Structure 1
Amino acid sequence: MRDVPAPVRRAGEVLLRVHAAALNRVDLYMRDSGSGITHSLPQTLGVEAAGVVVEADADSGLVPGQKAVIYSNAFCGQCRYCLAGDQPLCLRAHIMGEHRDGGFAEYVAMPARCVLPLPDHVDLAEAGALLAAYLTAWRMLFGKRALRPGETVLVAGVGGGVAVACLQLAVHAGARVLVTSSSDQKLARAQALGASGAINYRREKVAKRVMEMTGGEGVDMVIDSSGAASWDDSLRSLRRGGRLVTCGATTGSNPPADLQRIFIRQLEVYGSTGGSVEECRQLIALFASGAVRPVIDRRFALDDIRSAFDALSDGSQFGKLVVTMT
């Protein structure tokens, strides 16, 4: 923790007074090394932020005092991907908390196109946990080959922010959701949120149990953000023609590819991260309607952020860890 000058808003930017910002695995990575991500120290971390507009250009559509949430990808708006509306693939992206100062502060400045208004009635602590895990989950479920009502999805390692978000959004979409965890308590909480089947991977063989639960067919989709530790079970849990979507590799990034299984069973493997501005707007509309609310495990004051990082590191949480600035 340190005192620094408030950010100076440039033309085309919005100055936001931050109310809340959730922690994400990338924050741990940036704290510990940030290797491979171009950044200059000192840098404020935090890839999420929700709060109240302090300053904005008159033509921005935003006014002081308005609640807003930040889309963390400061995309260029000019490359082929931005012009196609696929901002997560921007060639010149500068992500808040990775390449530029982030949301673990009282104030943050971002381009106006990255600051999205919120209705007055929403909870800013929940909004501060919305646009990393839940936007990532939205794109994973509905981005490439969308999950459909009546399909079955396996969410590996439920408890983390993305996995819990996938559970909630898949249930809302009318899918059947199976979950895995090493914690019976997390499995029970997942079932309370609508999971129809739960597997403790410490005691049960995941793929075998999935086949039992699906009448020997397998699931339509697997959501896997773990990587090496769960990859084999994830592939073996899929039905013929099923798809696996991955957004992380917390247990290792180089599992056996099992190419024979992939081509013989005609499986699809998708990589996914973040979401587009349009997907973000759709998610915000769902959140504002009250249909889906982020699950917050614990809240921390900004000056206790080290404890929040420790809690994220030990993996004991179910849902999001949120830092509040007020």
Structure 2
Amino acid sequence: MLAAIAISQSATDPLSGLVLGEILKPEPRPGWSTVRVVSSSLNMHDLWTLRGVGHPPERLPIVLGCDAAGYDENGNEVLVHPVIADPDAGLGDETLDPGRALLSEQHHGAFAEYLAVPTRNLIPKPSWLTFDEAACLPVAWGTAYRMLFTRAGIRAGDRVLVQGAGGGVASAAIKLAVAAGAVVYATSRSEDKRRQAESWGARKAVPTGERLPERVDVVIETVGEATWSHSTKSLRPGGTIVVAGATSGKNPPADLGRIFYLQQRLLGSTGCTRGELVSLLKLMDATGLRPVVDRTLPLDEIHKGFQLMIDGRLTGKLVIHPPAPHEQGAPR
């Protein structure tokens, strides 16, 4: 079967390590299921793997792709919860399992015709979601849901700042916070992305680093060094910054004086649990929310998709379509 495989890593030329190649279809094993992938979506995690960030080179080669929606062996429409872990090891929260792994970290990922995952990671795809929409949800929307509701505990009327409008997590966070009744502010260097954020319900979107009309209760931070100072200065006393990424760098000046004097809270957040992903689907059903799909590309154009991400030219998610599987008995 055809797959997009990371074979090497480079901080300066990440796409040099990405190849399209033929691999064997995964064999079923006890407790696992095989999914025929209809749609998958690109995440920054895939780019970090190619850059050698957080992914040991000894785990290469590996098929990339963290998100998937498709059909299980019985023909059921499913989406895949991408955190492979033991919930008991994390006291009921699989994101706290020290041995957890996101798809494409220790197991082949979703940029392929077929994918093997533990059966507990399969969630029935609601009929009101397309495969493309479903493939956008697990990593980006699941991460945003956990940041907003589990970690920050936002309530209607809260003021929320989302840094870096336009990214997959940021666009999800804007829409989810608006749906929850929060007043949302957003930042972006791009005028087009600021307009998009306001069209999704943000009260105001400002250029990165520009002062907000008021201080906020919660900051959703996935950018890192480029926005960190603005995040701490935009937060009210006693407010909360939730961090789930650092695309511009992970070592900003901490400004500890401001943090302790204003009693600001800093919370980390990683991915989501299976239960949170199910809760996200219920919220979307109740509110009519849908993910933002920037565009779709066939698997054999995945290099183009990565370049769009590197250039910052995506708003929302980019969906990848693998080829239709060959007939049974064909060489792939």
Match of 1:9 among 28, 31, 39: 28
Instruction: Check the 8 A contact 1:20/1:324 in 2, yes or no.
Output: yes
For the residue of structure 1 that corresponds to 2:228, the secondary structure is: helix
Deviation for aligned residue 1:289: 4.8
2:132 matched residue in structure 1: 125
Deviation string 1:116-140 (CA, Å, 9 cap, x unpaired) is 1112342001100100000000011
2:4 matched residue in structure 1: none
Instruction: Check the 8 A contact 1:66/1:120 in 2, yes or no.
Output: no
**For residues 10 and 290 of structure 1, do their structure 2 counterparts lie closer, same or farther at Cα, with a shift above 3 Å needed?**
farther
1:156 aligns with 2:175: no
Instruction: Check the 8 A contact 1:37/1:99 in 2, yes or no.
Output: no
2:14 matched residue in structure 1: none
**For residues 15 and 36 of structure 1, do their structure 2 counterparts lie closer, same or farther at Cα, with a shift above 3 Å needed?**
closer
Match of 1:227 among 224, 228, 252: 224
1:282 matched residue in structure 2: 279
CA RMSD, Structure 1 to Structure 2 (Å):
1.4
Deviation string 1:256-287 (CA, Å, 9 cap, x unpaired) is 11111011111001111101121111012233
Instruction: Check the 8 A contact 1:38/1:99 in 2, yes or no.
Output: no
Distance across 1 between alignment mates of 2:88 and 2:146: 22
1:314 aligns with 2:321: no
The alignment covers a number of residue pairs equal to: 304
**For residues 74 and 199 of structure 1, do their structure 2 counterparts lie closer, same or farther at Cα, with a shift above 3 Å needed?**
same
Instruction: Check the 8 A contact 1:50/1:124 in 2, yes or no.
Output: yes
1:262 aligns with 2:269: no
Distance across 2 between alignment mates of 1:313 and 1:124: 25
Deviation for aligned residue 1:38: 7.3
Gaps of 5+ in 1: 55-63
- TM-score, with length taken from structure 1: 0.90
Instruction: Check the 8 A contact 2:41/2:68 in 1, yes or no.
Output: yes
Distance across 1 between alignment mates of 2:129 and 2:226: 38
For the residue of structure 1 that corresponds to 2:59, the secondary structure is: coil
Distance across 2 between alignment mates of 1:142 and 1:3: 41
Deviation for aligned residue 1:30: 1.0
1:58 matched residue in structure 2: none
Amino acid at match of 2:76: Q
For the residue of structure 1 that corresponds to 2:71, the secondary structure is: strand
Match of 1:167 among 164, 174, 177: 174
1:114 matched residue in structure 2: 121
**For residues 138 and 160 of structure 1, do their structure 2 counterparts lie closer, same or farther at Cα, with a shift above 3 Å needed?**
same
- TM-score, with length taken from structure 2: 0.88
Match of 2:81 among 71, 88, 106: 71
Deviation for aligned residue 1:35: 4.5
Match of 1:189 among 187, 190, 196: 196
Instruction: Check the 8 A contact 1:101/1:108 in 2, yes or no.
Output: yes
For the residue of structure 1 that corresponds to 2:275, the secondary structure is: helix
Deviation string 1:141-189 (CA, Å, 9 cap, x unpaired) is 0112311100110111101000000000000000000011111111111
Deviation for aligned residue 1:198: 1.4
For the residue of structure 1 that corresponds to 2:267, the secondary structure is: strand
Gaps of 5+ in 2: 1-19, 325-332
Match of 2:207 among 190, 200, 203: 200
1:272 aligns with 2:269: yes
**For residues 32 and 38 of structure 1, do their structure 2 counterparts lie closer, same or farther at Cα, with a shift above 3 Å needed?**
closer
2:69 matched residue in structure 1: 50
For the residue of structure 1 that corresponds to 2:50, the secondary structure is: helix
Distance across 1 between alignment mates of 2:249 and 2:284: 33
Instruction: Check the 8 A contact 1:122/1:288 in 2, yes or no.
Output: no
Amino acid at match of 2:36: R
Amino acid at match of 1:75: A
1:239 aligns with 2:233: no
Distance across 2 between alignment mates of 1:37 and 1:177: 38
Deviation string 1:199-231 (CA, Å, 9 cap, x unpaired) is 113xxx52xx21xx12xxx11111111111110
Percent identical pairs in the alignment equals 39
Distance across 1 between alignment mates of 2:103 and 2:118: 11
Distance across 2 between alignment mates of 1:303 and 1:279: 33
Deviation for aligned residue 1:86: 1.1
For the residue of structure 2 that corresponds to 1:186, the secondary structure is: helix
Instruction: Check the 8 A contact 1:46/1:97 in 2, yes or no.
Output: yes
Match of 1:92 among 49, 74, 99: 99
Structure 1 runs of 4+ off > 3 angstroms?
A: 34-39, 287-290
**For residues 174 and 289 of structure 1, do their structure 2 counterparts lie closer, same or farther at Cα, with a shift above 3 Å needed?**
closer
For the residue of structure 2 that corresponds to 1:14, the secondary structure is: strand
Deviation for aligned residue 1:37: 4.1
Distance across 1 between alignment mates of 2:154 and 2:255: 24
